[in-house]
Homo-oligomer: A and B are copies of this chain.
Amino acid sequence: MAKNSNFYPVILAGGRGTRFWPLSRKKRAKQLLALDGKQTMIQQTVARLLPLAAPKRFWIITNEDLRSAILKQLPRLPKAQVLPEPVGRNTAPAIGLAAFLLSRENPDAVIGMFPSDHVIADEKGYRATIERGVEIAASGENIVVLGIRPNRAETGYGYIEAGSIADGGAYRVRRFTEKPDAEKAAAFVAAGNYFWNSGMFLWSARTLVNALREHLPRTASLLEEISAVFGTGKFAPTFRKLYPKCENISIDYAVLEPRSAKGEQAGKIFCLPADFGWNDLGSWTALHEHHMGKSSQAAGNLIHGAGVFALNSSGNYVHAPGKFVAVIGVNDLVVVETDDALLITTRQQAQDVGKVVRYLDEKKLHKLT
């Protein structure tokens, strides 16, 4: 696939990533951090898609807090296409707005919806998968979802039940399921025909616009009204006025679940297995494990600091750039330090870091969030 195809990446970058507090903040969300290498997560997301689409094809949906930082990090992207939501309304209105905008520009546009804060090990495999997905999505009313083969009974993701095999290595989707309990998750993994929902979708602008009109008509007409004035002085005030009236709902719940309920054939949803080393870096622990896979450190400590002294210690993740770090007799800790905050937790409990942010929000300690 060349850059002159109909592929348009739409990157959703409105999240906060509170589980990476104290490094992640409202104005410096997870996708703006360089958690894995020199580039930030969103820079990596764009960089790995650039061989498939010219910069002018990119759209980013974010919020007012993050927009200026994103523009700085991605100077080659068209400023007008980095859209700040006046309020967060989950994924359906966000990707829906992009669909209405792009259907005006190019009705044959194939939209790829991508989270902005995941890591991909095999970028070539990733692009090859997307190319196959774009072909499937280009015809008829097809919807493509990239599915990750589960390697553990994870309860934090939605699952896709795959049915019959179709062309291009894809499976017809039988059903989407919400985050399961541990027992269900184990059964899904054992069954072999379940995939994790990666949050990466492909569909034509026309298909998505039609689906929204069918399943979410009120929001669809609001989005159409907003998109109609794009490029004019009316856009900003219209966006600010009408977008908050959109339903606060995920695209999975609004479109994919009802579509899949039509049945495997009529639903026209395809799951494309994504065997390219995907990781959503959901917590400090996930980041630790991601890095440890790359480089085996002495005694399993991963310490970002100006120097290290480790004694009787293993499995620790410490982020304290510029500081000499001494660990003595401690195991499996996660310690993260910034100019104004210090987090001390364990690999086991790092998933609860978001609770700190909830507490700080409640106490209106805005400087720390």
Residues of A at under 8 Å CB distance from B? 21-22, 305-307, 309, 311-312, 316, 318, 320, 322-330, 333, 335, 337, 339-346, 348-350, 352-353, 355-356, 359-360, 365, 368
Residue of B nearest to A335 (CB): B344
Other than A309-B356, A328-B345, give 15 A-B pairs with Cβ distance below 8 A: A307-B368, A312-B349, A316-B344, A318-B344, A323-B340, A326-B341, A326-B343, A328-B343, A328-B346, A328-B355, A329-B346, A329-B349, A330-B345, A330-B349, A335-B342
Contact present for B353 and A324 (CB under 8 Å): no
Which of B330, B342, B360 is A337 in contact with, Cβ under 8 Å? B342
Q: Chain B residues with Cβ under 8 A from A330's Cβ?
A: 333, 344-346, 349
Known: A309-B356, A355-B311. A326 touches B365 (CB 8 A): no
Known: A333-B330, A348-B329, A356-B328. A307 touches B365 (CB 8 A): yes
Which of B307, B329, B352 is A311 in contact with, Cβ under 8 Å? B352
User: Max chain B CB contacts within 10 Å: which of A328, A337, A356?
Assistant: A328
Q: Chain B residues with Cβ under 8 A from A318's Cβ?
A: 342, 344
User: Max chain B CB contacts within 10 Å: which of A311, A322, A329?
Assistant: A329
- Output the least CB separation between A368 and chain B (Å): 5
Contact present for B352 and A328 (CB under 8 Å): yes
Which of B311, B322, B326, B340 is A324 in contact with, Cβ under 8 Å? B340
Question: 24 A-B pairs, CB-CB below 8 angstroms?
Answer: A22-B324, A22-B326, A307-B368, A311-B355, A318-B342, A323-B339, A323-B340, A325-B342, A326-B341, A326-B344, A326-B345, A327-B344, A327-B345, A328-B343, A328-B344, A328-B350, A328-B352, A328-B355, A329-B349, A330-B346, A333-B344, A335-B335, A335-B344, A337-B337
Q: Chain B residues with Cβ under 8 A from A355's Cβ?
A: 309, 311, 328
- Output the least CB separation between A361 and chain B (Å): 12
